[in-house]
Structure 1
Amino acid sequence: MRAAIPDGRGSIAWADVPEPRVGRHDVLVAVEAYSVNRGETFLLDAPPDGWRPGKDVAGAVLDVGAEVTALAVGQRVVAHPEHSGWAERVGVPADRVAALPDSIPSRTAAALPLAGLTALRLIRTIGEIPGRTMLFTGASGGVGHYFVELAAGLGARVTVMCSSVDRGQRLLALGAEQLVTDISDAAGPFDVVIESVGGDLFAATWRLLRTRGLLVWMGQASHTRPTIDFFDWTGGANATMRKFLYSESDVSDAADLATLVRLVASGRLHPEITAVADWTDTASVITDLLARRVRGNAVLEVTRMATTDPSTPTTSR
């Protein structure tokens, strides 16, 4: 079976790997499309032992474990494996898989799992939404687009911060009230800040919080550790800081994926996919993603490779 593996230089190579093993509670998915996320590309720099990239996939069920009753062979699905999804086939626990209606193409569904689950769970973490003012930094990725559409649809007043006006225009169309490219232009104070950039921006957003506001820290895309001075009394008095990890949830991935699928099918959620390519172009898409040339999600469609891919050095594992 063909799959992407870390090449040791921050990108991927193609390799022949063993077929996935399907346990009693798993399903085997023939991958038709997958999405590339920035967090996964960071892991390519120093991959854990045995790790292969791939957390967002869509395709069809080839086999089901003995204890799986909710899914059947031949069913179209969207899935969120822990890893290894950039491949022809992947084994996934059934509680991380949701059925897909025929109205949603695989290329659309593949953009849902990580970014969609993150946005949905951010909404749940924040709690009360209608009427609250919010600031989302680094909002031009997949999570930001989903979050803005969900939060604005629930009545939130969302300001987004992006690296450029061009990267943020679609967020305004999805319901954001204000787009800024510099934190000094953000018209606070805010009830809630979702901070994903890190570095000095972290403290700057804290100062924009209302008294007893909420700051949700969900990453450091700048690769710079966040800093804050708790003796700086400018803004954020008695505020709460929460470290957010999307994988910690009382609701299963399968249930939340089913919610996202229903929202897309009903026209209430619109995956923002601005790059679609054949999976042989994965390395180029990674380069574009890291260079911030991709807004929203990037999706790769899986063709059945020949034994040797002429565009990429081949290794075996």
Structure 2
Amino acid sequence: MRALLVDRSAPGGLRLGEAPVPEPAPHQALIRVRATSLNHGEVRWGIEGAPEGAVLGWDAAGVVERAAADGSGPAAGTRVVTLAGDGGWAEYRVADTDWIGVVPEGADLGAISTVPVAGASALRALDRIGPILGRRVLVTGATGGVGRYAVQLARRGGAHVIAVTGDPEGRGEMLRALGAHEVIAEPEAAGAPVDGVVDVIGGRQLVAAYQQLGERGTLVSVGQAGGDPEHFPLKALYGEQGRHDRSIVNFQLLGCSGLSRDLTWLAEQVAAGTLDPGTSWRGPWDRAPEAIETLLTRRLQGKAILDIA
């Protein structure tokens, strides 16, 4: 099969080449991939750390070529969206049936391929915060893949949504159209305390966002797109009056159970147009180096999609 292989001598660290078709375990299905979406973490750190010739890729949408031998999951011929730790940048990938969602007929598989990491991470982060109806929720990195989904899902959950972006003037209109009530440049500008934070930036922004949490507030750390470490000032974690019982939590998406239901629901919302995946770049997979450069140089706001020939 054709696949994007790690080759750090090639532009973007990838080249199109040949790889064996993966053999699924009994609880896995073999998927013929039609589209994949790129995530910041896999292109920034995944390519650098992977062995030469590896096939990476977390997100992929396509059609079940061979159903799981144990009888779980969708039947052959079903349109699906999938998550796995690798293998999405190829003509075929295997995925655990618990990480496979069913896609409505007629849906754009390219748009649906943005769902697994970005959409499911946002959904699980908001679930970890708890009931958000009438609560103030702050989202850092709001114009990125996870951030866009988090803004929309928080608004649908009844939260007062505060979106953080480095360019509130240029991107404010777009974020308000997605559901943000406020668009600010820094977490410190949130004003009143917030009840929850979805943080995808890490570093200084995570520390600043944590300082905005009110009593019993929760910050969910989803990513570290900023690349800088967290340094908390003295007494930042001390439970003074009005600031006690605050939490910083995280999760590993591939460690979550029940993702099939999440992926199916998110795919339905994208297909119906009630969630906007924010596609900012789309092209054939032989242009992957161009997409990666755009993503890493911060010229991309939203998701990059590769169509698999």
Instruction: Give the TM-score of the pair, scaled to structure 2.
Output: 0.90
Aligned residue for 2:2? 2
Q: What is the rounded CA distance, in whole Å, between the counterparts of 2:63 and 2:55 in structure 1?
A: 21
More deviation in 184-193 or 133-142?
A: 184-193
- CA offsets, 1:124-154, max 9 Å, x none? 1111111111111112111111111111111
SS at match of 1:150: helix
SS at match of 2:93: strand
- Over the matched positions of the two proteins, sequence identity in percent amounts to 33
- The change in CA–CA distance for 1:16 and 1:48 in structure 2 (over 3 A counts) is closer
Shift of 1:266: 4.0
Identify the structure with the greater helix proportion.
Answer: 2
- Is 1:19 aligned to 2:12, yes or no? no
More deviation in 145-154 or 229-238?
A: 229-238
Amino acid of the structure 1 residue aligned with 2:253: Y
Shift of 1:265: 3.8
Within 5 A, what are the aligned runs for 1:58-69? 58-69=61-72
SS at match of 1:139: coil
Q: What is the rounded CA distance, in whole Å, between the counterparts of 1:71 and 1:109 in structure 2?
A: 17
- The change in CA–CA distance for 1:16 and 1:47 in structure 2 (over 3 A counts) is same
Q: Is the 8 A contact 1:140 1:168 kept in 2?
A: no
Shift of 1:23: 2.3
Q: Which runs of 5+ in 1 are unaligned?
A: 304-317
Q: Is the 8 A contact 1:33 1:299 kept in 2?
A: yes
Within 5 A, what are the aligned runs for 1:30-109? 30-41=32-43, 42-47=45-50, 51-109=54-112
Shift of 1:49: 7.9
Shift of 1:73: 2.0
Shift of 1:64: 2.1
Shift of 1:98: 1.9
Shift of 1:51: 4.5
Shift of 1:40: 0.6
Aligned residue for 2:298? 292
Amino acid of the structure 2 residue aligned with 1:291: T
Instruction: Give the TM-score of the pair, scaled to structure 1.
Output: 0.88
Match of 1:140 among 126, 140, 143: 143
Q: Is the 8 A contact 1:202 1:227 kept in 2?
A: no
Aligned residue for 1:115? 118
Tell me the number of residue pairs that the alignment of Structure 1 and Structure 2 aligns. Answer: 302
- The change in CA–CA distance for 1:144 and 1:103 in structure 2 (over 3 A counts) is same
Q: What is the rounded CA distance, in whole Å, between the counterparts of 2:250 and 2:27 in structure 1?
A: 31
Aligned residue for 1:275? 281
- The change in CA–CA distance for 1:229 and 1:110 in structure 2 (over 3 A counts) is same
Amino acid of the structure 2 residue aligned with 1:247: L
The runs of 4+ residues in structure 1 deviating greater than 6 Å are none
Aligned residue for 1:192? 196
Q: What is the rounded CA distance, in whole Å, between the counterparts of 1:140 and 1:95 in structure 2?
A: 29
Q: What is the rounded CA distance, in whole Å, between the counterparts of 2:72 and 2:232 in structure 1?
A: 50
- CA offsets, 1:23-77, max 9 Å, x none? 2222111111100000111211222687522111111121223213542222211
- Is 1:174 aligned to 2:181, yes or no? no
- The change in CA–CA distance for 1:193 and 1:66 in structure 2 (over 3 A counts) is closer
Q: What is the rounded CA distance, in whole Å, between the counterparts of 1:156 and 1:248 in structure 2?
A: 27
Q: Is the 8 A contact 2:221 2:250 kept in 1?
A: yes
Within 5 A, what are the aligned runs for 1:305-316? none
- The change in CA–CA distance for 1:98 and 1:219 in structure 2 (over 3 A counts) is closer
Q: Is the 8 A contact 1:180 1:186 kept in 2?
A: yes
Within 5 A, what are the aligned runs for 1:229-248? 229-232=233-236, 236-248=243-255
CA RMSD after TM alignment: 2.1
Q: Is the 8 A contact 2:139 2:163 kept in 1?
A: yes
- CA offsets, 1:66-116, max 9 Å, x none? 213542222211111221110111122222212212231111111111111
Q: What is the rounded CA distance, in whole Å, between the counterparts of 1:194 and 1:65 in structure 2?
A: 35
SS at match of 2:48: coil
